[in-house]
Chains A and B, each alone.
Chain A
Amino acid sequence: MTQSAEAAPEAGSPLPQFPMRRTCPFSEPREYAALRESEPVSRAALKVNGKPTWLVTRHEDVRRVLGDGRVSSNLKLPGYPHQFHIPEEMLAQVRLMLLNMDPPEHTAQRRMLIPEFTARRVRELRPRIQQIVDEHIDAMLAAGGPVDLVTALALPVPSLVICELLGVPYEDHARFEEWSAALMNHDLSPAEYGAAVQALDAYLDKLVTLKESEPGDDLISRFLEKNAAERVADHVDVVTMARLMLVGGHETTANMIALGVLALLRHPSQLAELRADPALLPNAVEELLRVFSISDSGTARVALEDVEVGGVTIRAGEGILALNNAADHDEAVFPDAGTLDIHRKEARGHLAFGYGIHQCIGANLARVELETVYGTLLRRIPGLRLAADPESLRFKDDAMVYGVYELPVTW
Chain B
Amino acid sequence: MRVITERDRCVGSGQCAMLSPEVFDQDDEGLVLVLREEPAEGLREDLLRAADLCPSRAIRVDG
Contacts and interface: CB of A to CB of B under 8 A. Distances in A.
B56 A356 contact: yes
B11 A115 contact: no
Contacts of B49: 348
Contacts of A359: 11, 13, 15, 55-56
B12 A111 contact: yes
A118 interface: yes
Interface residues of A toward B: which range? 20 to 34
Given A111-B12, A359-B11, A119 B55 contact: no
Given A120-B17, A357-B11, A363-B13, A115 B28 contact: yes
A364 B26 CA distance: 13
Given A115-B30, A119-B26, A349 B53 contact: yes
B41 interface: no
Contact of B12 (A110, A354, A355): A110
Interface string B43-63: 000000100110111000000
A89 B29 CA distance: 38
A122 B12 CA distance: 13
Nearest to B12: A114
A118 B11 contact: no
A361 interface: yes
Nearest to A349: B53
Contact of A117 (B12, B25, B52): B12
Contact of B19 (A348, A353, A355, A357): A348
A-B CB proximity, top 4 nearest = A114-B12, A114-B30, A119-B17, A359-B55
Interface of B: 11-15, 17-19, 21, 25-26, 28-31, 49, 52-53, 55-57
